[in-house]
Structure 1
Amino acid sequence: MAASDTKSVLFVCLGNICRSPIAEAVFRKMASDAGVADKWVIDSGATSDWNTGSLPDARGLACLRKHGIETSHRARQVTREDFTSFDYILCMDESNLSDLKRKAKSVKNTKATVELLGKFDPQKQLIINDPYYGSDQDFEKVYEQCVRCCKAFLEVNS
């Protein structure tokens, strides 16, 4: 990490090709638009290793482009080091949360606060459902949830 005033956030979902790269791209744009991108380390990852190295789902990329957001993210799996280097690890559903908490127990000196991104949703939609087997409309819903949650998260951390 850079200077001590730098904050860091890792967005996590099952495969790191749908929800978490959308959240990462949305938050990166919000931080940039707010002029605070240099104060954040922003990334995303997966609880599984299924898609390591893959680009985000084409439907997610199309959704982001529709909203004027680009990303060059490549999927990666969450590492043990992530628990000691990130301030926040924000995930999408209860399964992600359970996997992350189990993994965190095996890491000494964990500093990351691990919680659901949906905790920040002003509309109180706690779970951000996986759109992988859904439609473009499902990706749009994920995008809208990520916008609400990331906006609230950034406000709390500004």
Structure 2
Amino acid sequence: MCLGNPSPIAEAVFRKLVTDENVSDKWRIDSAATSTCEVGNPPDYRGQNRRKEHGVAVNHVAQQVPEEDLVTFDCMLCMDESSRRDWTRKGHPVNHSRATAELLGSYDPRKQLIVEDPITGMSPT
């Protein structure tokens, strides 16, 4: 989950990783934004070009995080603190919300907690 740019790339890469490891049946993978600014748009062309360079397929149109994700997902991986705060605020009014919000970077072996925008190279927070 992000404001708009990195999460479609993360979704595509993660989908490729679980497919390559033959464990895709154990995961439900999706990507969404906390804002509506990119809803309906394809990923940025620069991100699409980067994925093509690395052989990562993508079929994505931007969407805002649907409310049902609050009760169907166990964990939401956020690109930065801003997205995590937005997710946490969104989750509070929904009954039976079970999803936790974690930073994707907390799983990075290099401990880079915040995922930089792969297009601009800047941290979104």
Q: Shift of the alpha carbon at 1:85?
A: 0.7
- In 1, distance between residues paired with 2:67 and 2:94? 6
Query: Structure 1, residues 4-27: CA drift from partner, whole Å, max 9, x if none?
Result: xxxxxxxx0002xx2000110001
Structure 1 vs Structure 2: percent identity of aligned residues? 52
Q: In structure 2, do the counterparts of structure 1 residues 131 and 68 end up closer, same or farther at CA, with 3 Å as the change threshold? A: closer
**Residue 116 of structure 1 aligns with which residue?**
103
**Residue 5 of structure 1 aligns with which residue?**
none
Q: TM-score, normalised by structure 1?
A: 0.73
- In 2, distance between residues paired with 1:78 and 1:36? 25
Q: Say whether residues 1:99 and 2:86 are aligned partners.
A: yes
Q: Say whether residues 1:74 and 2:61 are aligned partners.
A: yes
- In 2, distance between residues paired with 1:114 and 1:107? 15
Q: Shift of the alpha carbon at 1:131?
A: 4.5
Runs of 4+ in structure 1 displaced over 3 angstroms?
none
- In 2, distance between residues paired with 1:130 and 1:49? 18
Q: Say whether residues 1:59 and 2:50 are aligned partners.
A: no
Aligned length: 122
Task: Choose the corresponding residue for 1:13, options 2, 26, 35.
Answer: 2
Give the number of the structure whose residues are more often helix, by fraction: 1
- For structure 1, list consecutive stretches of 5 or more residues without a partner in the other structure: 1-11, 140-158
- In 2, distance between residues paired with 1:128 and 1:85? 24
CA RMSD of superposed structures (Å): 1.4
Q: TM-score, normalised by structure 2?
A: 0.92
- For structure 2, list consecutive stretches of 5 or more residues without a partner in the other structure: none
